[in-house]
Amino acid sequence: MSFSKKKRNKNILIVDDETDVLDLLKIYLESHKWKVITVSSTSEAFERLQEKAFFLIITDIAMPDLDGYEFISRLKKNRIPSQIALITGFGYNPKHTLVKINAKRKYPIFFKPFEFKKPKLRETVQRAWEEYHKEL
């Protein structure tokens, strides 16, 4: 499997098995001039990652094919340079996948339902874009 090389872009990949979440995030982020691709499985995500570079991957933790921890592990194993943010509908639980993921590296986390009046999502996306493009 060959993945797209790191290059300047405004592409965001959103991975979630809930179409209403995908639609909501796509509308919101596109209104801020980002280019958004949505997929409903991690296998689709890997297909898109072969086609183009994404500066940010926003992924749900609870996915039917791979959980968030395994998905991120495979992203890192394949040296995909995208920044990562997590979304979840669960609160804090010490046995949750979120705890395993954030024990190694801190990723921004967004809890469903989203609060678009607060600038956290918009600011996090901008910071991810800046971080991804630092060395380009």
Residue 28 located in a structural domain = yes
Q: How many domains does the chain have?
A: 1
pLDDT at 102 over 70: no
pLDDT band at 101 (very low <50, low <70, confident <90, very high): low
Q: What is the CATH number of the domain that holds 36?
A: 3.40.50.2300
Residue 36 located in a structural domain = yes
Query: 80 lies in which domain range?
Result: 11-133
pLDDT at 11 over 70: yes
Residue 109 located in a structural domain = yes
Query: Residues with Cβ < 8 Å from 21, sequence gap 6 or more?
Result: 60, 87, 112
User: In the predicted model, what is the mean pLDDT of residues 81-89?
Assistant: 90
Residue 6 located in a structural domain = no
User: In the predicted model, what is the mean pLDDT of residues 50-77?
Assistant: 91
What is the overall mean pLDDT for the chain?
87
Residue 100 located in a structural domain = yes
Residue 107 located in a structural domain = yes
Residue 4 located in a structural domain = no
Could you tell me how far CA 31 lies from the centroid of its own chain?
18
Residue 5 located in a structural domain = no
